[in-house]
Amino acid sequence: MSKGQVAGRLFRINPENIEVLDSPSSFKNELFSIVKNAKKRVCISSLYVNQVNEFNDILKNILEKDILSGNNDLKIKFVLDLNRAIRSRIQFEQLAENIRRYPKSFSLSLFRIPGTLDIYKYRILPGLLNTRIGRYLNIPLINEIIGVYHIKLYIADDNIIISGANLSEEYLSDRQDRYIIIRDEKHICDYFEKVIDLIGSYSYKVLPNKEISQPCKKNIYQLKDELLALSGCPDVIDQLGSEIRRKINENGNYKDCVLMLFFQLSKIKIESEKSVLQKLFSSPDPGSTDITIVSPYLNLPDYFNKFLKGVNSLSIISGVPLNPGKGILQGIRSLLLPIIYDDINQLFIHKLAKEENCNIYYNEYNRQNWSLHFKGIYIYRKIKKILGNANGVKNTLLATTLGSSNYNERSKNRDFECSFVLIPPENHPLEDCLNNELGNLRKHTIKHIAPIITLRRFLCIKLIKYLKKYL
């Protein structure tokens, strides 16, 4: 992939086929429904699967029905992160059992981020991980700090759910994320099945005897060229820019619905996110632009300062999920992360406020017994429009981003991400649904109060300036 090229693709879709889901329960209901009715394919891409026995029962039921029908057409494919998947040991065993029972219909691939310790190649899993030192060191968790496979896609036949949610109990009950379901768009689902197959070819395979085989393709650095070739859109970034300009110029009459996707894995030189965001934020009149950025793990790369230059307002919504988990490393991580990310956000806001004359709002997610996993960027632009009998100005949604990225240093440098840009048609119910999605989230936020800067906090902030690119 040469410099300046983006690994991605742009689709035009029928806005009537898109629905914005508003809650974990809606996500669960729609996901289970489309999978129950699947006849040809189910493709799941997630960080991990955990504590969803009901979903595993659905998979077994549809596989049994397919076998009894005599068709044997149904194929179920999973791609998960190698290290995170094996930490969810019970669920991992259940998925592996499906491979033993349905070897021709069920596949499970485990993707390893380059640079992480190859626990299977060096046979660490059956040995060190089962010793006391292995349990304390938690090799898979250490590997996750280095990087994870983070793409979240849920496909059943010609339906796809795009989200940042993992397939785990808390994401189906009380962890708020974003969920967009697109129905009856075969070309999009066909494309992503090919993507999942391609990534699977560079992943470990779980065999029917529960052994782990090495990837079919071992040179991971060739993946970027294959992704680019599969996407078939060397000028996708120019296509995106053209759509943005057209929506601005049509001044309220834009009727198309565009979905662009892009990949990010800088460890193998797939670096798309910066170019896409730069194209989105570039505007002939940034003073008419309002930006909202939502991410639980917000640690914006330095280039955001340049991209946000001159905007009318910036609104930030954040809040690190509190999930103590098990083990010493998990406990330390859960204790420190909220403090660290809060300080990082304060540094960013302070720097931007010094350099730019724009309104900055910082809110934290605050909903009892719930946590935030929602991420996305909303770009609004003021346009002149006839309102009633007079000319007025309307704030219209130019575009929104969604997917797996947290728009932080980790997403930029360490994880394998797939993100999307959705450009909705103006004056269409989809635009209203996206506005309501953000409005409903704001109802569960409170204004952030900057902490008192003690000497200890001051020294921590100084240290974070040098460590932020690793978080």
Statement: residue 88 has pLDDT above 80: no
- Domain-ending residue, one of 226, 246, 267: 226
- Do 117 and 53 lie in a common domain? yes
Statement: residue 355 has pLDDT above 80: no
What single DSSP character describes residue 426? T
Residue 39 lies in a domain: yes
Statement: residue 173 has pLDDT above 80: yes
Q: What number is the average pLDDT over the span 78-106?
A: 87
Residue 466 lies in a domain: yes
Whole-number pLDDT of residue 124? 41
Statement: residue 145 has pLDDT above 60: yes
Distance CA 263, CA 270 (A): 7
Residue 344 lies in a domain: yes
- Domain-ending residue, one of 185, 203, 226: 226
- Do 424 and 395 lie in a common domain? yes
pTM: 0.91
Neighbours of 141 (CB within 10 A): 17
Q: How many distinct structural domains can be found in the chain?
A: 2
- Do 99 and 153 lie in a common domain? yes
Residue 304 lies in a domain: yes
Statement: residue 131 has pLDDT above 50: no
- Do 346 and 430 lie in a common domain? yes
> If you search the block for the tokens 């626990």, which residue do you land on?
119
Judge contact between 301 and 264, C-beta under 8 A.
Answer: no
Distance CA 377, CA 277 (A): 10
pLDDT class of 465 with cuts at 50, 70, 90: low
Query: What is the residue range of 320's domain?
Result: 234-470
Statement: residue 324 has pLDDT above 70: no
Judge contact between 215 and 120, C-beta under 8 A.
Answer: no
Distance of CA 184 to the CA centre of its chain: 22
Residue 9 lies in a domain: no
Q: Which of 380, 418, 378 is nearest to 401 (CA)?
A: 378
- Do 101 and 204 lie in a common domain? yes
- Do 197 and 77 lie in a common domain? yes
Distance CA 152, CA 167 (A): 9
- CA distance readout (Å), 466 to 337, 351, 462: 16, 15, 7
Residue 342 lies in a domain: yes
| Structure-model confidence comparison of residues 459 and 82, the more confident one | 82
Residue/partner pairs of 128-132 with CB below 8 Å, 24 or more apart: none
Residue 162 is encoded by which pair of tokens? 């795009």
267-308 pLDDT tens trace: 999 999 999 999 999 877 777 899 999 999 888 898 998 899
CATH of the domain at 181: 3.30.870.10
Statement: residue 204 has pLDDT above 90: yes
- Domain-ending residue, one of 164, 195, 226: 226
Whole-number pLDDT of residue 184? 97
Residue 3 lies in a domain: no
- Do 74 and 170 lie in a common domain? yes
What's at 326, amino acid-wise?
K
Instruction: Write b or e for each residue in 445-455: b if 16 or more Cβ atoms lie within 10 A of its Cβ, otherwise e.
Output: beebeeeeeee
Statement: residue 127 has pLDDT above 80: no
- Do 239 and 222 lie in a common domain? no
- Do 267 and 328 lie in a common domain? yes
* H or E segment and range at residue 156: strand 153-156
Question: What is the per-residue DSSP string for 229-259?
Answer: HHH--TTHHHHHHHHHHHHHHTTT-----EE
* 3-class DSSP string for 324-366: CCCCHHHHHHHHHHHHHHHHHHHHHHHHHHHHCCCEEEEEEEC
* H or E segment and range at residue 372: strand 371-372
| Cα-trace Rg, the chain | 22
> If you search the block for the tokens 């759509």, which residue do you land on?
243
- Do 163 and 310 lie in a common domain? no
Q: Which of 27, 25, 44 is nearest to 154 (CA)?
A: 44
Residue 5 lies in a domain: no
Burial class of 127 by CB neighbour count within 10 A (0 to 12, 13 to 18, 19+) = exposed
Distance CA 276, CA 85 (A): 30
- Give 99's contacts (C-beta < 8 A, 6+ positions apart): 106, 107, 108, 206, 207, 208, 210
Residue 107 is encoded by which pair of tokens? 């596949």
Instruction: Write b or e for each residue in 226-241: b if 16 or more Cβ atoms lie within 10 A of its Cβ, otherwise e.
Output: bbbeebebeebbebbb
- Do 247 and 199 lie in a common domain? no
- Do 185 and 296 lie in a common domain? no
Statement: residue 129 has pLDDT above 50: no
Judge contact between 82 and 110, C-beta under 8 A.
Answer: yes
Judge contact between 300 and 348, C-beta under 8 A.
Answer: yes
| Structure-model confidence comparison of residues 248 and 152, the more confident one | 152
Residue 24 is encoded by which pair of tokens? 């974990």
